[in-house]
């Protein structure tokens, strides 16, 4: 499924799509008691208009493909350096094929943890989720999405500098222009 996503993936997300994503950040613990950081991206349904579930799924597959994510049953893939931490605690998430990054909400403890740990569990949900969903609703969304294959995941690394991300994106673009696979 991942190869199909990558092979048929349209160009990276547009600035409008990136801005419309709802990031949800949290800290969690492994069974062994180690702390880890997680980031879930969802489609936030408009409050006043109906949305087409098929279009939401197509849109979120596009987002997941631009991040290199795969269904949970394929294991937790390393999707490369996707995050940068900047002065003042600004954290950006970078997508393949996109000129712009998603600025994540400022949470000092989360930023400190990802800077120290260097990795983030990254997930994209294929279904809409209310922008005001409660923690219990988010947990239910994650559990159901994982069980039904409606949650695509990967392990993203934190770049040592924003320049590293820019170089990696430039290399991917060059490879794409030359007909090489990223």
Is residue 1 scored above 50 in pLDDT?
no
Strand 151-158 versus strand 78-85 pairing type: parallel
* Mean pLDDT taken over the chain: 83
Flag whether the pTM goes above 0.75.
yes
Cα dihedral 9→42→157→7 (10° resolution): -10
For residue range 75-119, what is the model confidence (pLDDT) as tens digits? 899 999 999 988 777 899 999 999 899 999 888 888 888 888 889
Q: Give DSSP secondary structure letters for 138-149.
A: HHHHHHHHHHHT
Q: Give DSSP secondary structure letters for the chain.
A: -HHHHHHH--SPPPHHHHHHEEEEEEEEE-TTS-EEEEEEEEE---SSS---HHHHHHHHHHHHHHHT-EEGGG---EEEEEEEE-GGG-EEEE-TT-SSEEEPP--HHHHHHHHHH-EEEEEEEEEE--TT--HHHHHHHHHHHHHHT-EEEEEEEEPSSHHHHHHHHHHHHHHHHTT---
Torsion-angle region of 42 (φ positive above 0: left; ψ -120 to 50: alpha; else: beta): beta
**If you search the block for the tokens 């279904």, which residue do you land on?**
127
For residue range 112-139, what is the model confidence (pLDDT) as tens digits? 888 888 899 999 999 999 888 999 999 9
- What is the rounded distance in angstroms from the CA atom of residue 102 to the CA atom of residue 62? 15
At residue 10, the pLDDT reads: 57
């Amino acid at each position: 499924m991942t190869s199909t996503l990558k092979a048929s993936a349209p160009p990276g997300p547009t600035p409008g799509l990136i801005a419309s994503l709802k990031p949800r950040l949290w800290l969690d613990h492994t069974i062994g008691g180690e702390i880890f950081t997680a980031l879930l991206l969802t489609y936030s349904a408009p409050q006043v208009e109906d949305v087409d579930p098929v279009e939401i799924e197509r849109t979120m597959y596009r987002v997941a493909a631009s991040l290199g994510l795969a269904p949970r049953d394929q294991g937790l893939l390393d999707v490369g350096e996707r995050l940068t931490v900047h002065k003042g605690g600004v954290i950006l998430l970078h997508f393949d094929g996109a000129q712009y990054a998603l600025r994540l909400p400022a949470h000092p403890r989360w930023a400190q943890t990802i800077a120290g740990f260097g990795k983030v569990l990254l997930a994209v949900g294929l279904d809409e989720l209310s922008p005001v969903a409660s923690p219990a609703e988010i947990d239910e969304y994650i559990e159901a999405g994982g069980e039904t294959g409606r949650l695509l995941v990967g392990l993203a690394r934190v770049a040592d500098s924003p320049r590293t991300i820019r170089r990696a994106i430039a290399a991917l673009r060059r490879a794409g222009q030359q007909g090489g696979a990223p």
